[in-house]
Structure 1
Amino acid sequence: MSLVELGRYARNEAHMVVGMLGGHGIGATLFDGEASIAEGSWFLIPVRVMVDDDDLAEARALLPE
């Protein structure tokens, strides 16, 4: 299992993407979300949504263009 970046999103949007993927049985995790809060710049720093490389194509297909 190797994690790859699905995309970078605003903090709230990243949480919605992870929830939607989870509802379709795709595990996802957030990178950088807590760091941006600690630095006080959570509106400026995008949060990375990471998925297993085997799930990347399916996850991309679920996202709107």
Structure 2
Amino acid sequence: MSLIELGRYDRNLANIIVGRLAAEGIEAIAFDGGASIADGSYLLIPVRVMVDEGDLPAARAIVDAA
């Protein structure tokens, strides 16, 4: 499995996208979601949504259609 970045989103949207992709059978992972929670800036740091390189076209189509 080779991960590739689908995009960078705010924390809440990233988790929604991961769930939507999972519902379509595409495994996705949100990276950096816990960054800088201690200092209160966690909403300012974009979360990377990562998918398998082979799933990228389908994942992009799902996100673009939403």
- TM-score when normalising by structure 2: 0.90
Following TM superposition, the consecutive aligned residue runs of length 4 or more in structure 1 with deviations greater than 4 angstroms are: none
User: What aligned pairs does 1:22-61 form with structure 2 within 5 A after superposition?
Assistant: 22-61=22-61
Question: What do you get for the CA RMSD once the two structures are aligned?
Answer: 1.3
Unaligned runs of 5+ in 2: none
Length, aligned pairs only: 65
TM-score by length of 1: 0.91
Which protein is richer in helix relative to its size? 1
Q: 2:11: which partner in 1?
A: 11
1:6-60 residue CA offsets vs partner (Å, 9 max, x unmatched): 0000000000000000000000001110113244211210000000001000000
Name stretches of at least 5 consecutive residues in structure 1 with no aligned partner. Answer: none
Q: Identity over the aligned pairs, expressed in percent?
A: 62
